[in-house]
């Protein structure tokens, strides 16, 4: 019996619809299986359960397709030619899988009809081991030698992105600055995750890894590719715990650049921002995740995390400027410019310049995160609050740098313009904080641009200006999904 016998013929339109329907589940199951394989043996019940759920999806797709092909093309994932949307539900899995492919120089994977659980087990064992660059070079050969015949790795070097994108009726696939920024950002999130988990296991962070994570961010911002700042507005995804560290690093570096700090200082500032919350590892998870008000005893634990973070860095061997900057930022990022905040120090204590920047970045990003009660503040609402009565908590120069970094209408803000357009800001415009880069949501005549041909303002034209900002209750736009797309 050949590979197509025994399966029903399906209408191509129905097949595309099925692919679009099952793609998110397949992506989540695949990354969950990989995550479980890193922790458990293949005989473990947790791995077996993930395997069963993954195989159920594979079998269902193989009923209509001879093979399942996952490809990375121009920083997008495609399943059998259908582009997977990076919705908030799959955002973490989407970028995690792309990063795993990238580290192994893999452009895609083909799962052929007839694959069984034993082959998938062998594949994952080899694939995960290939995180070592030396093993990654021989990944296709090693898989073939292990008698894995129904899973084929497509080397990154064999993919011609331009040709593939043409076949998929995509726009030209030369890497735009925004796509570059997305790759830098999500690699940094995965790097932050590794740093935090290692620090939790060893009691001290890996400073060299932190420097490697931060350097591409510095390069991106110094080239005036401000789209990476817009990505800090993404909040609804599984990796937000680690993304917060990256957000603080990105915002801190950008503010430092606005304040004309030299390149090395920006790199050190980024490391300080990335490591600022290390002390929270000492706080019990039930306290960190508590939805209600903290008790007095729990507040004592929470307020100690700056000291614990500084102590964690102090355990590292050697002594350097970047270590000292990171220690002070850990210790001082909840202190305020008006000498309030915590930990409480002598009145002669002076908060370091880098700590003032990290404190500002941390506060702005935390204000826009999810809260136990009510909806989270939008970046625009948070900025208005910071420019209001709470401005006394921050160095005026640093607050000015934040406005220059995120703009008057931070990414994700829905704006009605004087001409009647509804637009969403996607990235700040360093040349004019009142005219951000935008995506048009609704034209003045009430019609939206087609999804297949989005309209952007790069940046908002000088002839336009904001008439008012819409609150989330006033619209139904999926701003997080639009920012992630």
Beta bridge partners of 438: 425, 457
How large a percentage of the chain has pLDDT more than 90? 33
Integer Cα distance of 413 and 228 in angstroms: 16
pLDDT at 305: 93
Q: Which residues contact 88 (CB under 8 A, 6 or more apart)?
A: 236, 237, 478, 480, 481, 484
Prior bond to 459 cis, omega within 30?
yes
- In the chain, % of residues over pLDDT 70: 89
Separation of alpha carbons 423 and 456, rounded Å = 9
Report whether the peptide linkage leading into residue 443 is cis, meaning its omega lies within 30 degrees of zero.
no
Question: Would you state the pLDDT for residue 4?
Answer: 39
Please tell me the distance from the alpha carbon of residue 407 to that of residue 404, in angstroms, as a whole number. Answer: 5
Confidence band, pLDDT 50/70/90 cuts, at residue 333: very high
Residue 61, by phi and psi: left (phi above 0), alpha (psi -120 to 50) or beta?
Answer: alpha
Tokens of 297: 């005893």
pLDDT of residue 381: 94
Residue 10 has pLDDT above 60, yes or no: no
For 170-203, the pLDDT digits (tens) are 443 333 577 778 878 888 888 888 888 888 888 8
Average pLDDT of the residues of the chain: 84
- Residue 446 CB partners (closer than 8 Å, separation 6+): none
The DSSP string of 341-398 is BSS---TT----HHHHHHHHHHHHHHHTS--SSSPPPPHHHHHHHHTTGGGGGS-HHH
- pLDDT-derived band of residue 468, with 50, 70 and 90 as boundaries? very high
- pLDDT, one tens digit per residue, over 229-283 is 888 887 765 667 788 999 999 999 999 999 999 989 999 999 999 999 999 888 8
Q: Is the pLDDT assigned to residue 449 strictly greater than 90?
A: yes
Q: Is the dihedral of CA 345, 350, 353, 354 positive or negative?
A: negative
* Alpha helices by DSSP H, 63-176: 91-103, 117-129, 133-136, 139-145, 161-167
pLDDT computed for residue 335 by the predictor: 92
Pairing of strands 106-112, 151-155: antiparallel
What per-residue confidence (pLDDT) applies to 8? 43
pTM of the model: 0.70
State the pLDDT at residue 161: 47
Amino acid 242: pLDDT: 86
pLDDT for residue 225: 56
Residue 226: band (very low, low, confident or very high) from pLDDT cuts 50, 70, 90: low
CA distances from 225 to 26, 249, 472 (A): 33, 15, 28
Does the structure show a pLDDT above 70 at 14? no
Asked if 429 and 437 touch (Cβ cutoff 8 Å), the reply is yes
The whole-number average pLDDT for the span 98-108 is 84
Does residue 398 have a pLDDT over 90? yes
Please list the alpha-helical segments (H only) found in 223-303.
Answer: 227-230, 240-258, 263-275, 285-288, 296-303
Residue 320 binned pLDDT confidence (cut-offs 50, 70, 90): confident
Confidence of residue 327 (pLDDT cuts 50, 70, 90): very high
| pLDDT tens column, 270-307 | 999 999 999 988 888 888 877 778 888 999 999 999 99
Task: Give burial (CB, 10 Å; 0-12/13-18/19+) of 77.
Answer: buried
**Of 6-10, 58-62, 346-350, which one has max mean pLDDT?**
58-62
Residues 6+ apart with CB under 8 A from 394: 336, 337, 356, 359, 360, 363, 386
Residue 6: is its pLDDT beyond 70?
no
CA-angle at 366, arms to 365 and 367, nearest 5°: 90
DSSP summary character for residue 42: T
Dihedral sign from CA coordinates of 388, 275, 223, 240: negative
């Amino acid at each position: 019996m050949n590979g197509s016998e025994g399966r029903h013929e399906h209408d191509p339109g129905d097949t595309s619809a099925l692919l679009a329907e099952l793609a998110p589940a397949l992506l989540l199951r695949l990354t969950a299986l990989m995550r479980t394989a890193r922790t458990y043996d293949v005989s473990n019940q947790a791995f077996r359960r993930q395997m069963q759920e993954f195989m159920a999806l594979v079998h269902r797709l193989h009923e209509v397709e001879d093979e399942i092909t996952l490809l990375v093309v121009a920083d997008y994932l495609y399943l059998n030619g259908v582009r997977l949307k990076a919705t908030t539900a799959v955002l973490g899995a989407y970028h995690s899988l792309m990063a795993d492919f990238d580290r192994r120089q893999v452009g895609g994977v083909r799962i052929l009809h007839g694959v069984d659980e034993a082959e998938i087990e062998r594949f994952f064992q080899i694939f995960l081991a290939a995180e070592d660059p030396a093993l990654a070079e021989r990944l296709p050969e090693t898989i073939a030698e292990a008698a894995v015949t129904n899973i084929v790795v497509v080397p990154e070097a064999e993919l011609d992105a331009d040709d593939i994108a043409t076949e998929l009726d995509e726009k030209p696939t030369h890497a735009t600055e925004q796509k570059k920024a997305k790759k830098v950002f999500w690699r940094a999130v995965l790097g932050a995750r590794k740093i935090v988990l290692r620090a939790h296991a060893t009691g001290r962070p890996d400073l060299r890894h932190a420097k490697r994570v931060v350097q591409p961010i510095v390069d991106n911002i110094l080239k005036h590719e401000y789209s990476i700042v817009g990505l800090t507005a993404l909040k609804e995804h599984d990796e937000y715990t680690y993304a917060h560290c990256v957000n603080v690093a990105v915002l801190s570096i950008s503010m430092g650049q606005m304040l004309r700090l030299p390149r090395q200082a920006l790199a050190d500032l980024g490391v300080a921002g990335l490591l600022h919350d290390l002390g929270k590892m000492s706080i019990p998870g039930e306290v960190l995740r508590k939805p209600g008000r903290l008790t007095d005893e729990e507040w004592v634990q929470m307020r100690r995390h700056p000291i614990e973070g500084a102590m964690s860095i102090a355990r590292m061997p050697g002594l350097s400027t970047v270590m000292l900057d990171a220690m002070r930022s850990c210790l001082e990022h909840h202190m305020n410019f008006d000498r309030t905040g915590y930990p409480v120090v002598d009145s002669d204590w002076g908060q370091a310049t880098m700590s003032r920047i990290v404190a500002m970045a941390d506060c702005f990003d935390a204000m826009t995160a999810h809260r136990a009660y009510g909806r989270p503040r939008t970046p625009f609402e948070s900025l208005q609050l910071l420019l209001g009565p709470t401005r006394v908590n921050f160095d005026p120069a640093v607050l000015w740098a934040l406005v220059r970094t995120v703009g008057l209408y931070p990414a994700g803000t829905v704006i009605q313009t004087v001409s009647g357009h509804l637009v969403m800001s996607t990235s700040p415009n360093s040349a004019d904080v009142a005219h951000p880069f935008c995506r048009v949501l609704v034209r003045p005549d009430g019609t939206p641009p087609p999804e297949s041909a989005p309209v952007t303002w790069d940046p908002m034209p000088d002839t336009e200006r904001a008439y008012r900002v819409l609150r989330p209750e006033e619209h139904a736009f999926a701003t997080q999904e639009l920012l992630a797309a």
